[in-house]
Every structure is written in C-alpha cells, then in structure tokens.
A and B are shown apart, each in its own frame.
Chain A
Amino acid sequence: MRSGSRSQTIVTRLQPYLLIGPTLFLVLLFNVLPAARTVSDSLHKPARGLNAAGKPAEFVGLGNFQDIFDAGHYMGGRFLRSLRNTLVFAIATVGVGLPLGLLLALLLQHKQPLLGLWRFAVFYPSLLPLIGAASIWSFIFSDSIGLANAVLRSFGHPGLNWLGDRNLVLMSVIIVNIWKQSGYFMIFFLAGLQNIPRDIYEAASLDGAGALEQFAALTLPLLRRTLLFVVVISFTFAFQTVEQLQALGEGGPADSANLLLYLIFQNISERRNWGYVNAMTIVLIALVLVFTVSNFFLFEREESD
C-alpha cells in the first residue's frame, strides 16, 4: 500500500514534466539552442582569407559590437544608419498607423450605408501578400511612369523621386506600411469597441458629455487592453520589416531607408560577416524587448493606479 502510494506520488510529481516535455524539447531545439548559438557567434570572428571554410572562428569578446558601433567601419556605418532608420520607422508607423486604425474603427463601428464595403476597402490591404503590395507601390512610386507622380504632375508639380531621393525614400516605405497595417489595427479596435456596453454612453449623454469627452473619458480607458495589444504587435511588426524593402529600393540609396532586419539579411551570405550579423541580431532583439517590456509596464501601471 505504502509503496503503491509512493509510486503514485512520483507519477503525480512527474506528470507535469512529462506533459510539458514535448513542448520543452521543441522550444529548446528551435528557440533556446539557436539563441545560444547566436550569442556565441556574436562573440566570434569567422576565419577569413583563402580556404577559410574549414578553419575555426576566433573568439573576439565584444569586438563585433565595437565594430558595428564604429561609424568608420564598413559595417558600422551601415548598421548605425539602419538602426536610426529602424527607430524612425517604428515610431512613425506606430505613431500614425495606430491612431489612424483607431479613427477608422470609430468611423466604421456604427451602422451606415455601405458599411461592409467601407470596412472591406480599409481592411483589404492587409489581406494582400506584403511583397505583392510593395510591388504595386513600387509602380505607384516609379519616377517617370508612376501613379503618384502622374497625380502630382496633373497639379503642375514636377513630381518626386519617391524611391531615389535619399530624403524621401524612408517616408515612402513608411507610407506603404501605414497603408498596409492601419486596416489590420482597425479590426482589433472594432472588436474592442464591441465589448464596451452601449448603455454607459447613453448615461454619459444624459449627463451632458459630448462626443470628445466620451471618447477621452470612456472609450480610450476601456480600450486600454486592446491598445496595449496593438501597440506591442505594431512595434514588433515594425522591427520585423523586411519584405517591403525588397520591392521598394532594397533599403537604398546608400542605406537611407535600410532597416535592421533587412541589413542582417543582406549580409548573411558572406561568411566573414557572420559575427556582425549575429551581433546585429542581438541588438535588434534587445530593442524589441525594451519596447515590449516598457509598453507593458506603462500600461500595467496605469491599470493598477
């Protein structure tokens, strides 16, 4: 009897580990192991020169990180520029795309003629494959034959070099991203809005609150959870941007629209740069973590206040 209950306790104790075992194994294999490899590779310089393939990498400590933060280094100059672009890109796409998504949700939440059509029109860009959408935009932005310049020229403007002008190209990529994502964000906000009971608005109206007051005092606070979710995913999306750049000028000219993940992709094929690529990956992950965690704390603290 006693031994039976003991073996039962062991089984009971082991049970949770057995249950999470398969998941744990997969997480170790596909997440933890590659991450550990990335950290290790970021501290090494691959062998260089002729017949480097068989030679071991050299441990350089933080040397790769020093190089990528050195503006005079061939990789550092590109990295620092792409890092700055990535921050601008993330803040601009979230700063404009998210309020736009919210505005669209507010406009399209009530019954009105052609509601389905409006919602579809706003949402459909997010259904398109990214690379296809970006290719469409690369035609729109084309210097001599593009739609954007045709419109500008019809107003007497000489037209803009959307993807060739170094001061403009990052903005062009941001525009595409906002167009692509705000409809997607709208869906989340629409869902969030549906969860807010209608009667509290009626009560507020009776108390004499106007539309703006209702929005500030009721809608926004009650949407906080949705807002947190959308902020987190939109920042993560922004840091993961790759596909658009492939169609929209490949980050050029001279990296003026290049973003971190695309720069990493561009440099992965040559062995000599693997140390840098891994170091840049770690910086990117750190960035995403900082944004996500700080957003979380920001909203959580408000919640507990």
Chain B
Amino acid sequence: MTLKRIAMILLAALFLLALGGVAAQDEIVIDFYFPSATANDAEGIFQRYADMFEEENPGISINPVFTGSYTDTRNTILTELQGGGAGPDVAVMLSIDLYSFAEEGYIIPAQGFIDAMDDGAAWAADFFPALMANGVDEAGNVWSIPFQRSTPILYYNADLLAEAGYDAAPVNNAELVEIAQALTTDERHGLLVPVAGGFPIWMYQSFAIAHGRNIVGDDPTEVYFNTPEAVAAVEFARSLGTDLGVGPAGGAAWGDTPVAFLAGQAAMIYHTTGNLTRILRDADFEVGVGFLPSGPAGEDGTGYGAPTGGGNLYLFDDGSKSQAELDASWNWAMFLASPEIQADWGATTGYIASSASAWETEPLASLAQEHAQYGVARDQLQFAGKEFSSYATITIQGIINGTLESILTGEAEDAQAAMDAAQAQIDGILAEYR
C-alpha cells in the first residue's frame, strides 16, 4: 500500500513537472542586457519595468542582466557572440555602437518592425531627431531606438555666481571664461570639463560643434579631425587648464567632476544630463543648468551645440530566431521606448526622455514644470549634433582619444601636426570601406 502510494505520488509529480516543462517551453524569455554610466539604481528600475511588462504580456518573461559600463557591455556581448554564444535578445548599448555590430551581422534593423506598424512613420517621428541621428544608417534605415539618452549641459553653482554678481549662465565662450576666472580660487576651480580619464572625445565634440563644425559627417566613412574648427576646439579646451587657469591642466576626470561640484570645489561643470536628478537631490546650494556656451561669438555657423550621447535599444538576431521571439523582443523595446516608461525613466534618472510625447506624460510633465532644469537639455537638442560614430568606430575613437589626450596634457604641443597625423591614420582605415 505505502509503496503503491509513493509510486502514485512520484508519478503525479513527474506529470506535473512535464506539464511545467511544456509551459516553460511556451514561454518566451527575453535576455535583456543593460549598462549603467551613472549612480542610479538601474537594476531596481529595470526589474520594475520587467514586472510591469510581464503583467501586460503573459507568455513573455524578461531576464534583465546588468552588464557593467557601456564598454563592458559592448565587450561582453561581442565576446559572447564571437565565441558562438547566444548573447542577448535586446540590449542597451551606446548609440554609436551601431556599425560595430552591424558590420558583424549581429543585430537587425528596427525599420522592418516600424514599417509593419499601422502608424510607424508617426511613431518614429515622435522621437527627437537629434536622438535618432546615431541610430539611422546612411540609407535612412532605423536600426536602434533611443532609450537612455543624454547630452552634456552646463551645471553652475547659482549661489556662487550670484555672490560674484552674475545672475545668469554664460552664453558664449568669452562669458564662460570671464565667469570661470572670477570664480576660481585656491580651493575652487572655476570650470571643470571632464576631458581626462580615457574618454575626452565626447566633451571635445561639444567644443568642436560650438566652434562651427562637427568631426563626423552623415556617412560612416566621413571623419573631419584636422579642420581649423577641430584644431581651435581642442586648443580652447587645453587653454582652460593652462593659460586661462580655471581648471586642472589636462582636464578633470569623469567621476570626480560632479563630486567636486557638489562639494563646492568647482563653480561650473560640463557634465551629462544623466546625473541631473542626483545633482539636484544632493546639492546644498542652488543648482543652475544652462546650454553649453556657444563658440567664438559673431562668426557664421557658430552657436550652441553639443553631441548627443547615451544608449539605444538594439535587437539581436543571427538569423536563428523565430518570428515570435523577434516580435517579443520588439514589444519589449517598444515598451521601454513608450512615452509612459520614458517619462518615468527621465524623471527617475535625469536622462532625456527621448520622445516629445513623453514630456507631456506624468510624472515628467509636472516635474519639468516644477524644475525648469529638466527642460534645458531637451531644448538644447535642437542644436545638438551626432555623436562620433563611423566604421571601425572603436579603433578610430581610440586614435582620436589618444590624440586629444596627448594634446590636452601638453605632450603634443603642436595640435595641428598631431591631428594631421591622426587624420592620416583614420583615412587609412576608412579607405577599406569607401
């Protein structure tokens, strides 16, 4: 009797397990890789979004995986895929990683899904054009969808500026230098620009655009690193730490910059909007936010400007995935890009919500009304330029970063000569794609 009963129970258990196995097979699991470049609780936030999505979409389960910095994320995914692994289904990667992955054939364009929508064109047009620029190839196909996007803005300690008699943010480089010099003391930097620490190209692009010409064109084979504007921009950035003496020679490090600003050791900083919420929360002084100042005043073609930055949503497929799996990936990406999530994400982190309608959605709508600072980055987008991206992006970005660092630290005194040499190396690489 007992033996028989045990056997029955075992059989029942096996049956249930088998049922569970069938159910698990029917469920589509989306592996979602995401990086974080700021001090926000990205893991907690994404788990919350995953829970919301799973509730609305039975049969799809999201597996969020935190993969470190943007660079770590890119390298993790490349290593997995190059080694024959499965990799993610959807990932947030830098918007400039497009060609690195498209060249290898690891990602698929979002264009096909957009075309299949009833109102696809209107849906795509809701995103800010400046944020779409890096996700579109030269033929106009949309590959990736803007998600955690940012742009550098000027943060200033309004209390300090007021003490020195300035009641508004500087609007051009001449004013920027004047205010920075007035606020520089032995204990305080007037202006910190994080061009030190391995990644000067982003902040440098701000100066290049402000001086009138971006270093990258629309086509992924166009790089303009030795133009007069490009040289003037790096010389201006270098002078902040040398002749003008408003910051450390060679520039500040990325992570130190907001910390120094919050500690009152820097009166103004250039930094990403991705830190806006944290800075507003932690500052014990009035924080002002402004457009990055324009370049040399009064010359044609110069003005405000900043590169965009941050991450987009990419869809992965090596040709082995079923339509149902791809649809699930696309639904998750659309969910994250929806106005509701973008409004929540923008309010929680300070990243620029990527679509116009997100700004009319709560909680962002009232937050932007309450704190004018949130709207500044959005309004600056109309002057924003494409972030640097080309074929062989990683290698060419490495050449540009190395050249900028050697100029900024004073190792290469002749900026023009160093940039000519770099441009020759870059042209040599891009020749293979032209």
Contacts and interface: CB of A to CB of B under 8 A. Distances in A.
Interface of A: 48-54, 72-74, 77-78, 142-145, 158, 161, 163-166, 249-256, 266-273
B250 A269 contact: no
Contact of B406 (A50, A52, A253, A271): A253
Given A50-B103, A250-B198, A269-B75, A145 B265 contact: yes
B103 to A, nearest CB: 6
The interface residues of chain B, by DSSP majority, are classed as helix
A268 B100 CA distance: 13
Identify the 4 closest CB pairs spanning chains A and B, nearest first: A254-B405, A253-B405, A254-B406, A250-B198
Interface in B60-113: 74-75, 78-79, 82, 100, 103-105
Contact of B79 (A73, A78, A143, A269): A269
26 contacts: A48-B432, A52-B104, A74-B395, A74-B428, A142-B256, A142-B259, A144-B189, A144-B256, A144-B260, A144-B263, A145-B256, A145-B259, A145-B260, A163-B196, A163-B253, A164-B409, A165-B250, A166-B409, A166-B410, A166-B411, A253-B406, A254-B406, A267-B395, A269-B79, A271-B104, A272-B392
A253 to B, nearest CB: 4
Given A50-B103, A254-B411, A164 B196 contact: yes
A22 B59 CA distance: 46
B103 A250 contact: no
Contact of B253 (A48, A53, A143, A266): A143
The interface residues of chain A, by DSSP majority, are classed as loop
Contacts of A253: 196-198, 250, 405-406, 408-409
Contacts of B105: 51, 53-54
B115 to A, nearest CB: 23
B74 to A, nearest CB: 6
A107 B78 CA distance: 50
Contact of A249 (B198, B252, B410, B411): B198
Contacts of A273: 395
A266 B100 CA distance: 15
B252 A143 contact: yes
A143 B409 contact: no
B412 to A, nearest CB: 8
A252 B198 contact: yes
Contacts of B395: 74, 267, 270, 272-273
Nearest to B220: A50
A138 to B, nearest CB: 8
Given A166-B405, A250-B198, 7 more contacts: A73-B425, A143-B248, A143-B256, A166-B410, A253-B196, A253-B197, A255-B402
A164 B74 contact: no
Contacts of B259: 142, 144-145
A158 B188 CA distance: 12
Contact of B248 (A54, A161, A254, A256): A161
B251 interface: yes
Interface in B357-397: 391-392, 394-395
Contacts of A252: 196-198, 401, 405
B399 interface: yes
Contact of A164 (B78, B104, B253, B425): B253
Contacts of A269: 74-75, 78-79, 100, 394
Contacts of B392: 270, 272
Contacts of B265: 144-145
A59 B33 CA distance: 36
Contacts of A142: 253, 256, 259
A131 to B, nearest CB: 12
Contacts of B79: 268-269
B120 interface: no
B233 to A, nearest CB: 18
Contacts of A249: 196-198, 253
Nearest to B392: A272
A161 B250 contact: yes
A223 B302 CA distance: 70
A261 to B, nearest CB: 15
